[in-house]
Structures are given as structure tokens and as C-alpha cells.
Amino acid sequence: MKKEKIIIIGAGLGGLSTGIYAQMNGFETVLYEKNPVPGGLAACWKRKDYLIDGGIHFLTGHKPGLSLYNVFKEVGVHKAEYVDIDTYARYIDERSGITIDISADLDKFQADLLLLFPDDQRIIKRFIKSTRGITKSDISEFGFKEPMELMRTRDWIKEFWQNRKVLKYFLGKSMKPVRDYVKKIKNPILKDLFLYMFLPSVPVAFLWMVLGLVAQNQMGLLAKGSIDFARKMEERYLELGGKIEYKSKITDILVEEDTVVGITLEDGTTQKSDFVIAAIDGKTVIYKMLDGKYTNDKINKIYSEWKTVDSFVSVSLGVDMEFKDEVWMTFIKSTDSVTVAEEEEENILIRFFNYSPHFAPKGKTVIQVDFETEWEYWFVLRDDKKEYNRVKKELSDNTIEWLEKRYPGIKDKVEVIDVATPYTYWRYTVNEKGSYMGFLPTADAFTSSVEKRLPGLSNFYMAGQWSMSMGGVQPVIYSGKHVIQLLCHDEGKEFHTESD
């Protein structure tokens, strides 16, 4: 019997996951990727002897202890190399001279906060108590076991019952955005610490969840960078018999009588298939490739009203210095700002790739300084290449001068400079506004769903971060599993994994 053929658009983590689960379920698949390597946003690039990582910051599920690990095994990423996190981040308030390490040791973290901010002891104790409470159950698959489209009332009841010990941490005031949660905090430094621990828009429950995973020793970094994670998925996919066509940009999705029948490549050639699954930017697919013909009010509202994660510009430096005592991720409330896209930025994030020898030669370090920025500024600026490059150089020069004040001598030790703007990420992925993590993870997003089928269109599905209500490694990998579960359901086939 001839296998049904699926064309998958995009070899990012969502496309690779889709291909893996499709191969497990007896489909013939071909992945088309416009770039020469897999991974999409999980991207790394070489600059001389330095490896610049513009992708995954941290992840969970990389080791036994959580049910998510089983999914990591299914897609092959348990074979990647990881480094456990014992400190989530360091926060430095230069105005006061206060430094706070967000430690995996919750007792220590609480004691440090109580010593520094005694007037806020009540909210500190509640915050830590909730963080501890959320670790009582394995919630790594909560809301991900099945695609939303297939969840019935009894499935939700079962899901809630299994997670009853921690359910209260995801209800009511727990879903209040951090920016609202901090209004009751008296000390402005503690307020800023909570605000910039992740994103101000996320529910406070998200912070409890992240810190709870750190406390459980279930948060990790990629020792060989994001590309190692992507390569392990690529290996798994090819091992299962899948095929990948790199440097193959798809420009159109072929539709006949409201049924998808294949794709058109940039060179004008066409490829037919039984199904097409798009795992790239959702807006490009729905409103450009498909001309906006297959939407409804819900889809239009999502793409017109939901906000994407803010864009950022990243200045990466290869430095002939070691930074052994620095915490891998450091948030700084600076006393002197850095001009970014004509705006003064005083909230600065530094990543020190000092936890693995794979990013820089011995005795040297990659430092990455990230600034939130406006997408429109860079997108307009890119039309004038000379001015675009001048502004990038000015930003890197200003960043190095800023670092010199904090790490004397670094200015003369910089060997490599790389600046990645929102336009860089857009050019590489075509993601809306150069977003690196899809839709903003708000409280509404946590309780909403994005359907993987389009109304009135047959034999077409969507995967990847734009098919989920929020981005990140875990949702993206599950999107691939979910879309094949959905396809198997629609085709009357039993879904299974190789471990079954």
C-alpha cells in the first residue's frame, strides 16, 4: 500500500518534530527549508573561532524526572549535551549597589530577599511558598498531552484531577500579569527584580513555574549551542526515513477546489503531496501564501490583536578574557543607559557563555548583550544599507564602552563583534516582526488555543510556534506531535510513537 505523502514547510524545531512523528506513523515526508541548516530560530553561527548562539536561552525536559523527558527521547534531543542551572540569573541594581542571585536554593533566595527587603516580607514569603507548591506535581505536560482540538470534557476533568495539587497556582490572581502583581511591592528594586525576571506580561504563575523547575534541578543550558539541539532532531528524523531539501524556499501553496495539493518552490517547480503542513510564520502562510481566503473571526483576531514577543537586538562579542565568576545570565539596571534605536535603554541583559568550552577557545569567552528594541525602526533602516551598518557599529561601540566601565580592559580584548537585529531574525525566519518566541505569553494566551487547521481548507495543517498560543522549545516540539495526532484522527488512523 502506497504511503500518504506530507510536505512540511520549514525545518525549524516545529517542522522537525512534525516530520519525526509523521515518520513514526507511517507517512512519507519531505521537509523543505530555505536555509542551509536546520533549527530555524534555534540558530548558531561561527565568527572566527567563536560560536555565536542566537537561539535557545534555556530549557527543561533535558533529563529524567519529568514526563517531558519522554518527549525529548522521542525526538532525539536527549542525546544533546546539557549543563544544569544552579542559578537562574543574577540581578544587579547599580543605583543601589545591590546584587541578587536567583538561586535554585529557595531557602537561600528567600533569606536573601527578606534581608534586603524586610518591608515586603509578606509578598516574598507568599511568592516562595507558591514556587515550592508548584513543584509538588510534574506539570511539564500540563495542557500538552493532547491537541486542544481533540480534548473532550472528560479529558479536561482527568487532566485537572491529575494536577489537582497545583491547580490553584494557575487560577484567579495567579494568572495576573507580573506588571500588575508587583504593584503591591513597596521596594522599587524588588519590583524591578520581578518585572525583569522574565517578561512583565507573563502571569506570575509562570515565574513560579520557572523557578520551581530550577529548584528541582530541571532547567538546563545547551553545552554545544542551539544547533546541537536542532542537529539531534535532524538525525532522529533522517534515522526514521525522512528527507530534507535545504536551500529550498517555498513561495506558494497549491490549492485546487479548497484542497491543498502541493507547493511551489522559488525556482518555479512544483511538488505534489497528499498533505501540506506549514511550520513557518503563520501570518505569511495564512495571509500571503493562501491570500487570506481561509480564516474566521478567531484567526483574524489572533493575528490582528495578539501581541508578539518584543523584538531585541543582540551584540555578541568574542573576548580574550575569562569570566569564571559571572552568572550565565545577568540582568542589570544600569546607572548609565545605552542608546538603542534612538531610545535610551537602562535595562540590560548579558549572557556569559562561560559554562562550556564549545563557544570559545580556551581562556576566551563569548559575551552577548541583549536590548529590547522596536521592530519598525530596524525594518525601515535596512533599506539604507550604509546607514544600517553604521547604526549597528555605533551600537556595538557604545556597548563595548559600557562594558569597559564594568570590566576594565575588555575594550582591548574584543576579537569578534557580531550584531543581530530584529531584521536579521526576520530575514532568516520571516517571523512576524522578527519575533524570537511567537505570541506574547499573556494570561489570555495561557487559556487560549490556536487551531492547526484552517476553516474551509482540506489536507492542510499548521505546526510550530504560530500554531500554539505561546512560543518556546516545549510548545514548539509538542506542536509537531499534536499536528500528527490530529492528522491521524482525521484519517482514522491510530497515533503511536516508536516507544509504543
Could you read off the pLDDT of 16-43 as tens digits, one per residue? 999 999 999 999 999 999 999 999 999 9
- Which of 189, 124, 185, 121 lies closest to 332, judged by CA? 189
Query: 140 near 60, Cβ under 8 Å?
Result: yes
Could you read off the pLDDT of 182-233 as tens digits, one per residue? 999 999 999 999 998 988 888 899 899 999 999 999 999 999 999 999 999 9
Query: 277 near 6, Cβ under 8 Å?
Result: yes
Asked if residue 378 belongs to a domain, the reply is yes
Asked if residue 28 belongs to a domain, the reply is yes
What's 450's domain CATH number? 3.50.50.60
Residues 410 and 465 in one domain: no
pLDDT at 474: 92
pLDDT at 470: 83
Residues 345 and 295 in one domain: no
DSSP β-bridge partners for residue 12: 39
pLDDT at 242: 97
Grid coordinates given for 211: 523557578
Asked if residue 279 belongs to a domain, the reply is yes
- How many independent structural domains does the chain possess? 3
DSSP β-bridge partners for residue 439: 308
CA dihedral 192, 137, 156, 309 (to 10 degrees): 30
The rounded distance, in Å, linking the Cα atoms of 457 and 223 is 42
Residues 386 and 422 in one domain: yes
Residues 121 and 267 in one domain: no
Residues 114 and 200 in one domain: yes
The rounded distance, in Å, linking the Cα atoms of 227 and 38 is 8
Residues 284 and 136 in one domain: no
Spatial neighbors of 338 by CB under 8 A, at least 6 apart, are 344, 345, 348, 371, 395, 398, 399, 402
Residues 183 and 112 in one domain: yes
Residues 242 and 360 in one domain: no
Asked if residue 264 belongs to a domain, the reply is yes
DSSP β-bridge partners for residue 100: 91
Asked if residue 231 belongs to a domain, the reply is yes
Domain final residue pick, 167, 184, 216: 216
Residues 411 and 337 in one domain: yes
The rounded distance, in Å, linking the Cα atoms of 368 and 385 is 24
pLDDT at 310: 84
In single-letter form, the type of residue at position 26 comes to G
Asked if residue 47 belongs to a domain, the reply is no
Question: Which range marks the domain in which residue 174 is found?
Answer: 87-216
pLDDT at 459: 98
Asked if residue 318 belongs to a domain, the reply is yes
Query: 360 near 380, Cβ under 8 Å?
Result: no
Residues 300 and 447 in one domain: yes
User: Per-block average pLDDT, block size 10, for the chain (500 residues)?
Assistant: 87 98 97 96 94 92 91 96 95 96 96 97 96 84 82 78 76 87 95 91 90 93 97 98 97 97 97 97 96 96 90 96 96 95 94 97 98 93 95 97 97 98 92 87 80 96 93 93 96 84
Asked if residue 499 belongs to a domain, the reply is no
Query: 159 near 142, Cβ under 8 Å?
Result: yes
pLDDT at 226: 96
pLDDT at 500: 45
Residues 265 and 367 in one domain: no
Q: Which pTM value belongs to this model?
A: 0.95
pLDDT at 173: 82
Residues 266 and 206 in one domain: no
Domain final residue pick, 191, 216, 241: 216
